[in-house]
Amino acid sequence: MEKPILLDCRDVWKIYGARADDLYKSHGSRLTAEDLAAHGLIGAVRAVNVRIRQGEIFVIMGLSGSGKSTLVRCLSRLIEPTGGEILFEGRNLLSMTDREMIEIRRRKMGMVFQHFALLPHLTVLQNAAFPLEVQGVPRAEREARAREVIELVGLKGREAHFPRQLSGGQQQRVGIARSLAVEPDLWFLDEPFSALDPLIRREMQDEFLRLQGLLQKTIVFITHDFDEAIRLADRIAVMKDGAIVQVATPEELILSPATAYVEEFTRHIPRAKVLSLRSVMTPGAPSGDTAGDLPVTERIESVAERIEASDLPYRVLSEAGEVVGFVGRQAVIDVLIGRKAAR
């Protein structure tokens, strides 16, 4: 059963340049790239439609200048869209007053950006509690909540430290704790790990997945790193020149790219990292002995060595524990060496 839609983005535009509003009002969603160029305008976000489900990690990715950061700022109305609708819990954010939007951001939305933006004169505890202080939450209550999220992100014992006393990864954890303190329904993360060293970045991805396993937030995550996207995402939206060219699971992007651009974007990603056993199994129950059972959602990369080492196939089980297929050594080898497309 599909989860309910939490954020519904309908035909959203953000156009920069002189008299952009006038052109949009006269043309609406019929605007083309040629129209924009003829008037010297930039279509930073063009006719975007996305529906983000409750509890999913929705990754928006693309190269620099593709419009992904502008889009996420439109979704939170940090930037005012030129046109369209953005429905959050069924209400159009674009029709809300400034006061209503402030309350939504304070109580319903969490945001983490690439630059940590910690307040240098406040301790870890005070930084984490700051959004609650803005809400007027009493000190004892806000500090108790701040201690909870500090422990959640693995910084217990550092409550009295100042940002200058922390590593880059620890500072980012404080930023994450601060955004979680308000218990947001919708969590925006704009390239939160891109300024970190590769090893710390991997650790933060692990931490992020751990937190999501506990909290089950609805997350919009921006990145330009496809490896990061496929590791974290339930679904990915690929952007190019302000438009979304495909929305799909990581597996679907690899198996069925919608455009030549998406195909090129995913060309050099090792298939074993992305494809699950669902893509390579032979449907139906095996006729003979098997080496054991594996879940249908398991990535090939994580079980390839085990399957290759076995003379017998493995049964593949659905999420409900039913046998839906089997997979043997040859199917995995084919994916690893790229000999043929997975079924």
- Is 28 domain-assigned? yes
Question: Quick one: 14 and 96 in the same domain?
Answer: yes
Distance between CA 248 and CA 256 in Å, rounded? 9
Residue 164 parent element (H or E): none
Question: Quick one: 240 and 194 in the same domain?
Answer: yes
What separation in angstroms does the CA of 181 have from each of 82, 150, 177?
Answer: 32, 9, 6
| Tens of pLDDT, residues 188-232 | 999 888 877 888 888 889 888 988 998 899 999 999 888 899 999
- Is 133 domain-assigned? no
- Is 178 domain-assigned? no
* CATH (domain of 284): 3.90.1280.20
Among 217, 252, 269, give the residue marking a domain's end: 269
* CATH (domain of 226): 3.40.50.300
Question: Quick one: 242 and 276 in the same domain?
Answer: no
Question: Quick one: 281 and 305 in the same domain?
Answer: yes
Question: Quick one: 194 and 320 in the same domain?
Answer: no
Question: Quick one: 88 and 209 in the same domain?
Answer: yes
Domains held by the chain: number? 2
Question: Quick one: 103 and 21 in the same domain?
Answer: yes
Radius of gyration of the chain (CA): 23
The DSSP annotation for 197-248 comes to -HHHHHHHHHHHHHHHHHH--EEEEEES-HHHHHHH-SEEEEEETTEEEEEE
- Is 35 domain-assigned? yes
Q: Give the mean model confidence (pLDDT) for residues 29-40.
A: 91
Distance between CA 170 and CA 12 in Å, rounded? 36
- Is 115 domain-assigned? no
Q: Classify 16 as helix, strand or coil.
A: strand
At residue 198, the pLDDT reads 84
Question: Quick one: 239 and 276 in the same domain?
Answer: no
| Tens of pLDDT, residues 81-128 | 999 999 999 999 999 999 999 999 888 998 888 776 899 999 999 999
Q: Give the mean model confidence (pLDDT) for residues 260-284.
A: 91
Question: Quick one: 286 and 225 in the same domain?
Answer: no
Question: Quick one: 264 and 281 in the same domain?
Answer: no
Among 243, 269, 295, give the residue marking a domain's end: 269
Distance between CA 188 and CA 222 in Å, rounded? 8
- The set of residues, in sequence order, having a beta carbon less than 8 Å from that of 307 and lying 6+ positions away, is 291, 294, 314, 327, 328, 329, 332
Is pLDDT of 166 > 70? Answer: yes
Domain range holding 32? 5-108+184-269
- Is 59 domain-assigned? yes
What separation in angstroms does the CA of 94 have from each of 23, 82, 85, 172, 291?
Answer: 19, 10, 6, 30, 56
Question: Quick one: 190 and 314 in the same domain?
Answer: no
Question: Quick one: 14 and 91 in the same domain?
Answer: yes
Which two structure tokens, joined as six digits, stand for 17? 């340049």
Among 239, 269, 299, give the residue marking a domain's end: 269
The DSSP annotation for 191-209 comes to STTTTS-HHHHHHHHHHHH
For the chain, give percent helix, strand, coil, nearest 5. Answer: 40, 25, 35
- The length of the chain in residues reads 343
- Is 58 domain-assigned? yes
- Is 21 domain-assigned? yes
Beta carbons of 6 and 188 less than 8 angstroms apart: no
Residue 112 parent element (H or E): strand 109-113
Is pLDDT of 342 > 50? Answer: no
* Residue of 59 and 29 predicted with greater confidence: 59
Give this prediction's pTM.
0.86
